[in-house]
Structure 1
Amino acid sequence: MQHFPSRSDSYLFCAYVFAICTAGTGASSPTVNGTLGHSVSLTPGIWVAQDVAQVVWRRTSPRTRIVEYSKGDISSFGSEEYKQRVTLHPKNFSLEIRDLQREDTGNYEVTVTASSGAQSLKTVQLVVYEPVSGTYIMVQYTSKNCNLNLTCSVTSGDPTSFMWWRGGEAVGNDSPHHLWEHGETVEIHHTAEVEGVVYRCEARNPVSNGTAQIRLVDVCKWNTPDGTGAPPPTVKGTVGRAAWLNSGIAVGSNMDAVVWSRTSPRTRIAQYSKGHIEYFGAEEYKGRITLHPGDFILEIRDLQREDAGDYEMTSTTGSGAQNKMTVRLEVYAPDQKSSNTGPIVAGVIITAIVIIVGIALWVKRDSLRSTGTAAGGDVSTDPAEKVELKNTSDGGSTS
């Protein structure tokens, strides 16, 4: 009589064949991609049968047991924190890992033992990626007429690759970057044909992606009047008074975030983010500064010597485009501001003294002359005056 294999026999046969094929072909382990902070399930790829006696999941390097199923009982190994993050599901013997961390990346091995003693072994490679977030476009002006470089970058995401699109056309080769702070840069020469074009960058890795876009006509509004993108003029302030650092942002502009910082040492001062303003630093310092939300000008009151230095403003629009500018603040003492007027004041005082002395001498001489005329004699005691009178008596013109 012909014998038809039962389900358990089929399972044992498949497990046996799987083990032989895997060992004989040297096939590479399948790869599962996981997202940092999320969950993932590693499956053994077996048929569930009643005659499974034991299932063990291990890390291969270093070789460490994670969980074990044995005749209906499940045991977990490792630290308490790790045991709270892993679960072996008895229905299909998949291993679930929650709240994924960088160190979870690696090879995992599962060994399945049937009640007959037959075994199958499978290895799965897990790779944990940081998700892409905060995709933005950095703008750098390279010359007049709004020629510039656009750099696509992200605040998180490792590894990340970038691609640029101009309208619906790709304008750059896809280039992988293994450090998230690196971005793909494209060079743009401003012409009438591209002024209204939308430039879009895509940042992605195997588990996530992000996009940001800008219009060139909007970016060129940031350019300075000379077309070079150079920092605005230096702001001069006086100790004890107030100074205003201009952001260059027009009132009513669509800004998601504006951050003012000191450049040396690099310290955040004030931040605007979607309607909310936050200040940083000591309470005394926070009491002296105001970020005006209309035009994002930074006001610093009761200026002190240590307030002098370079200030950087970083702004991010609703489309993700980002711009930076630097303002230099110079702080002078009140006497330094007025030192240029010193010589003028001194000159005025000296001139006034000379005039007063001259008037006094003239009054005195006139008084003496009047007295001498009344007595009928020459009472002048000024030798110059005597010479003048003598020349007149010799027939010189007196007119």
Structure 2
Amino acid sequence: MCAGEGILPLGPLSGAVAGTVKFTTTLIPPESPFLSVSWSFNGSNIITSTSINVTGPGYDSRISLDRATGALELRNLVLEDSGEYTVTVIADRGLQQQGKITLNVYVMITGATIRSPAAILIEDKSSTNLSCEASGSISTILWMKDGLSLHSGGRVSFSMDNRTVFIQPVHSSNHGTYQCQLCTMKTCSKSPIILLELMYITLLPVLEAQKVKVWPEVTGYLGQDVTLPCHFIPGSKGENVTQVQWDLNPPQGEKLNIIVSNGNYGVAAQNTFLKERVDIKEQSLIIRQVEMRDAGSYTCNIAAFPSGSFEGTTNLVVQKQMPLSPKMVSAIVIAVMLLLLIMATITYLIFIRRLHSSVRHRVHIDTGGSVIDVARPPVIEEDVVYSDIKLKSSRDATPSFNDKHTETARADDVTYSEVVVLRQQPK
């Protein structure tokens, strides 16, 4: 037997986690089937196919073998599948052929972004840096400025892993749009997220009176919309706002970029818990359907050309219940006063009616023919009924309290009359 070479193509092969890779051979299917086809990984059996198939542990549902050519398909890749693969084929006449190839499994790149410290950059005095951040299997990082490759030299330098570019000090020629391109073991691609995270280096030849105006504190109410005002006050004519970015500053950890509004690329909400509920109107941040977890410190970053970058921080306080407005309070007070006035009026009317219905008339009559006393309330005109007058003989006549009282009753009005008659006896 002799070992054949070159039955596998040149490697290495690359595959993404959870993806599929196929190991092909250069063999032509023979007239008679191969006596044996076997694959191994780092010396351990994957599959040995003769009259029966013997599959190694963990490969039953992940592999497919082509007995005619000896090709192997491996599915649901994991990082641990990276290594050397060996195929051994024995033909009908007993000739053994073998080949080896290396597989590299990588993780797809996600969450790519560019970060830079917010600062006013002054030509020939200030320095800055841009950092390219992402997760995944990154083999190389390439930097571009205004769509062209950025190389080290002069004021520009790179970190050892190429993740960070340094500009020391900045110059007017450094103004522009920067982008990082991330490459895996297999291909290079530009993430759409990176395009939304364009960083502008702006220069400030002459410092003038510019600033960002924000509110120190804004109160939002649960379930309602809230606006965090942010206004850029230019220091001179001809200034243009090129980018507005809002960040959330958690008590612990790095700033969380929420949303970016760029003059060239539009508005892009980042992948945070606020993504579906935020928007930018001019430079102000709008948060819809406020939640309790939205409370915190927010920073408005504004990049303007040619003046530079500016920022302002505002604190959002979230409350569960919205207080009554001054108009609502006034309406409630007026309603209560009207109610009290109506109740007082009704009480007064009831009191007057009862007073009128209980009037008493008292009449004193002297039988000698002169009226000695008539007591009757003035003004009030009431009917007086005289009935059953009884006389009692007495030298010193005293009022009789046995007189009968007659009541004249009507539906809502009762008048009481009392008549007392006095008679003097001859001496």
Question: Normalization by structure 1: what TM-score?
Answer: 0.52
Work out whether 1:124 is the aligned partner of 2:110. no
Work out whether 1:92 is the aligned partner of 2:89. no
Q: Relative to 1, partners in 2 of residues 1:325 and 1:44: Cα closer, same or farther, differing over 3 Å?
A: farther
Q: Relative to 1, partners in 2 of residues 1:86 and 1:290: Cα closer, same or farther, differing over 3 Å?
A: closer
> For each residue in 1:31-62, what CA deviation from the matched residue of structure 2 results, as whole angstroms up to 9, or x when unmatched?
222223332112344443225201111222xx
Question: Normalization by structure 2: what TM-score?
Answer: 0.49
The residue that corresponds to 1:151 in the other structure is 130
User: Which of 37, 40, 47 does residue 55 from structure 1 map onto?
Assistant: 37
> What are the within-5 Å matches in structure 2 for residues 1-399 of structure 1?
16-18=2-4, 30-49=11-30, 50=32, 52-60=34-42, 63-71=43-51, 74=53, 76-79=55-58, 82-141=59-118, 143-145=120-122, 147=126, 149-167=128-146, 168=148, 170-172=150-152, 177=161, 183-187=163-167, 189-195=169-175, 197-211=176-190, 212=194, 218-220=200-202, 235-237=216-218, 244-246=227-229, 261-265=248-252, 280=273, 291-295=278-282, 297-298=284-285, 309-311=296-298, 327-329=313-315
The residue that corresponds to 2:354 in the other structure is none
> For each residue in 1:224-250, what CA deviation from the matched residue of structure 2 results, as whole angstroms up to 9, or x when unmatched?
x979x9997671356989975346799
In structure 2, distance between residues paired with 1:206 and 1:47: 30
Percent of matched pairs sharing the same residue = 17
Q: What secondary structure does 1:103 align onto?
A: helix
Give the deviation of 1:295 after TM superposition: 4.0
Q: AA paired with 2:22? A: S
In structure 2, distance between residues paired with 1:292 and 1:214: 15
Q: Relative to 1, partners in 2 of residues 1:218 and 1:175: Cα closer, same or farther, differing over 3 Å?
A: closer
CA RMSD of aligned residues (A): 5.5
In structure 2, distance between residues paired with 1:276 and 1:313: 14
Q: Relative to 1, partners in 2 of residues 1:292 and 1:200: Cα closer, same or farther, differing over 3 Å?
A: closer
> Structure 1 stretches of 5 or more lacking a match?
1-11, 23-28, 316-322, 334-399
How many pairs were matched up? 285
On the 8 A contact 2:144/2:150 being kept in 1, the answer is: yes
Larger Rg: 2
In structure 2, distance between residues paired with 1:246 and 1:143: 22
Q: Relative to 1, partners in 2 of residues 1:107 and 1:249: Cα closer, same or farther, differing over 3 Å?
A: farther
On the 8 A contact 2:12/2:102 being kept in 1, the answer is: yes
Q: Relative to 1, partners in 2 of residues 1:113 and 1:305: Cα closer, same or farther, differing over 3 Å?
A: closer
In structure 2, distance between residues paired with 1:111 and 1:32: 18
Write 1 or 2 for the structure with the bigger share of helix: 1
> For each residue in 1:352-385, what CA deviation from the matched residue of structure 2 results, as whole angstroms up to 9, or x when unmatched?
xxxxxxxxxxxxxxxxxxxxxxxxxxxxxxxxxx
In structure 2, distance between residues paired with 1:312 and 1:90: 63
Q: What secondary structure does 2:116 align onto?
A: strand
> Structure 2 stretches of 5 or more lacking a match?
234-239, 261-265, 303-308, 320-427
On the 8 A contact 1:153/1:183 being kept in 2, the answer is: yes
